[in-house]
Every structure is written in structure tokens, then in C-alpha cells.
């Protein structure tokens, strides 16, 4: 099997994808009435502010965890663990992002609710698999902190986006 030079960076690339896509799409669709953007401060609905802060915490935790494992003094993560993390991010996070964006711009966002919940269940299962199979016994306080930042930051960001789509 041919070695892919991007493989060690796949989880890092997938970690940044939602934030970058969200920013690009917000710029491209800034005039869309469903986004609720205004010309005066704070410019965006409060849910987007919370999403940004929580997403930044999650991304920081993910980057710190990724860097932690690149330090030769720390434990290297096995291929199975890297694959589990990439599956959670790529097969869970990216489809979730697409569904959430489509729901946000839709006149009938509830049509996306079941697919969003199905992807949510998969994503939570993939995250739990990674945490309970690979991390629960071997991680120290520092790595646990990074994981909590990543998981809870993403969870709060997702909940604020759900609130914007279905409650605002």
C-alpha cells in the first residue's frame, strides 16, 4: 500500500474544515435573510458568537492534542486510533456540517432534523469509541483537558447552532 504523506495531518485538516467552511460560507451568503446578519454591532446573532467561542475552544483543544502526540516524549497514537478520530471528524463532523448549513438556509429546516440526529448519534458513538477504547486508561490530566476542550467545545457550538436553526 502506498504511503500517503497527508495521513498524519488528516485529523488536523478535518479539525479545521468546519470552521473554515463556516467562515467562507458566511462571507458568500452574508446577504441571505436566514442568517440574521446586521450592519451594527454585534453583527451576528448571539448563537453565532457562542458558536465561535466554543468552536475556538474546541479547535484549540484539538490542535493542542494533535501537537501533544507529535512530541517524542509523549505517547504516539496508533494507526487504529488515528483512523477512529478521522472517522469521527470526517464521517460525522463534515456530514453534520453540511446538514446543519442546509437546514439553516432552508424554509423548512425540520426536514433535516432526522438526518441531523442520525449523524449526531454516529458522531457521538465514534467519539465515545475513541475515548473509551483508546483514552480512558492511558491519558493523563493534560491530554484529558485537551479532549474535554474538544468534545465540550464542539458540543456547545453544535447546540448553539441547533438553537439558531430550530428555536430562533
Kindly report the three-state secondary structure assignment for every residue of 129-144: HHHHHHHCCCCCHHHH
DSSP string, 8-46: GGHHHHHHHHHHHHHHHHHHHTTT-GGG---SSTT-S-H
Tell me which of 164 and 6 has the higher pLDDT. 164
Tens digits of residue pLDDT in 138-155: 888 998 999 999 999 999
pLDDT tens figures, 59-107: 999 999 888 877 777 767 777 877 887 788 888 888 999 999 999 999 9
Query: Between 54 and 12, whose confidence is greater?
Result: 54
Count Cα atoms within 13 angstroms, Cβ side, for 124: 9
Domain positions in the chain? 41-166
Amino acid at each position: 500500500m502506498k504511503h500517503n504523506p497527508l495521513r498524519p495531518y488528516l485529523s488536523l485538516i478535518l479539525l479545521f474544515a468546519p470552521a473554515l467552511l463556516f467562515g467562507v460560507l458566511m462571507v458568500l451568503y452574508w446577504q441571505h435573510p436566514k442568517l440574521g446578519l446586521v450592519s451594527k454591532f454585534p453583527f451576528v446573532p448571539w448563537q453565532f458568537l457562542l458558536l465561535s467561542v466554543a468552536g475556538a475552544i474546541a479547535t484549540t483543544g484539538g490542535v493542542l492534542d494533535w501537537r501533544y502526540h507529535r512530541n517524542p516524549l509523549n505517547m504516539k497514537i496508533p494507526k487504529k486510533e488515528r483512523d477512529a478520530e478521522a472517522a469521527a471528524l470526517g464521517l460525522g463532523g463534515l456530514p453534520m456540517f453540511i446538514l446543519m448549513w442546509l437546514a439553516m438556509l432552508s424554509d423548512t429546516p425540520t426536514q433535516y432534523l432526522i438526518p441531523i440526529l442520525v449523524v449526531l448519534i454516529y458522531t457521538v458513538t465514534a467519539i465515545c469509541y475513541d475515548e473509551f477504547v483508546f483514552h480512558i486508561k492511558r491519558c493523563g490530566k493534560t491530554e484529558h483537558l485537551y479532549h474535554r476542550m474538544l468534545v465540550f467545545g464542539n458540543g456547545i457550538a453544535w447546540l448553539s447552532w441547533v438553537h439558531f436553526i430550530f428555536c430562533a
